[in-house]
Amino acid sequence: MRIAFRSDVGRIRLVNEDRAWANVQDNHYGIAIVADGMGGHLAGEVASQLAVDTFQEVLASTKIAELAPEERHTFIRKAILQANDVVYDMASRNDQYHNMGTTVVALLAYPDSGVIGHIGDSRAYIWTGGTFTQLTEDHTLVNELTKHGQISAEEAANHPRRNVLTRALGTDEEVEVDVIDFAWKPDDVLLLCSDGLSNMVTDEQMQAVIQAQDMDIDSKTEKLLEMALQAGGDDNITVVLLHHAVDTEQEG
């Protein structure tokens, strides 16, 4: 399994409030997380960093290779809910962090399957069998309006409130985590990203990069980031790619 990840402040923002981390454990198990923070001065980057740090702390006390399939759900939900507790507590005790929060999308990837936990609008995609599919569902106002037929997909793409979240990590004492199973096989690719990529680069453009035969995984990560910047770079951009390959080389 090979992993590459990159994060960039973009062309407009002064601070990168995205955080990401990814790793291969025991040569067979991929772990990754992307968090896109929000809040007042510095609060967004604090929230996203706390989320990633807490996820890693929970992970450090767990041997993911020994988790049964049903235990994987429990683990990823527990890790994300623990991060929610940490961020919410920090925001509650410090006025400068009032109402800070973050999106989160995290995964555990095993040799033939995996599990994803997420809150917010950072996304997970999979390229498998020649098709590119979004695995997560955005927790946004615009997605709710689209699902209920109140606006079209075209209107959603340019809606003035498309960044309004209906669910975030750390803003409330209790939050619901969506947990998704996926199957994958050799040569499949998983993509995790913040909306700085998905709002600027179409699914078709992302698929074209991911399935390209003339680039390695690190080059593909760089290319996706570059495309978001060329499209305007309106937001922080974070990209994580996991390639189901025998080679375990990691780029970060």
Can you tell me the mean pLDDT for 58-64? 93
The chain-wide mean pLDDT, for the chain, equals 92
Asked whether the predicted pLDDT for residue 247 surpasses 80, the reply is: no
Q: Residue written as tokens 């399957």?
A: 113
Asked whether the predicted pLDDT for residue 22 surpasses 90, the reply is: yes
CB 52 within 8 A of CB 23: no
In angstroms, the Cα distances linking 229 to 143, 237, 238 are 24, 8, 11
CB 103 within 8 A of CB 165: yes
- In 3D, which of 25, 24, 20 has the Cα closest to residue 5? 20
pLDDT (tens digit per residue) in 162-181: 678 999 999 999 999 999 99
In angstroms, the Cα distances linking 41 to 14, 58, 95, 150, 160 are 11, 28, 11, 34, 23
Put simply, whether the predicted model's pTM sits higher than 0.75 gets the answer yes
pLDDT (tens digit per residue) in 97-154: 999 999 999 999 999 999 999 999 999 999 999 999 999 999 998 877 777 777 767 6
Residue 102, classified by CB atoms within 10 Å of its CB into exposed (0-12), middle (13-18) or buried (19+), is: buried
Does domain 2-251 sit in CATH 3.40.50.300? no
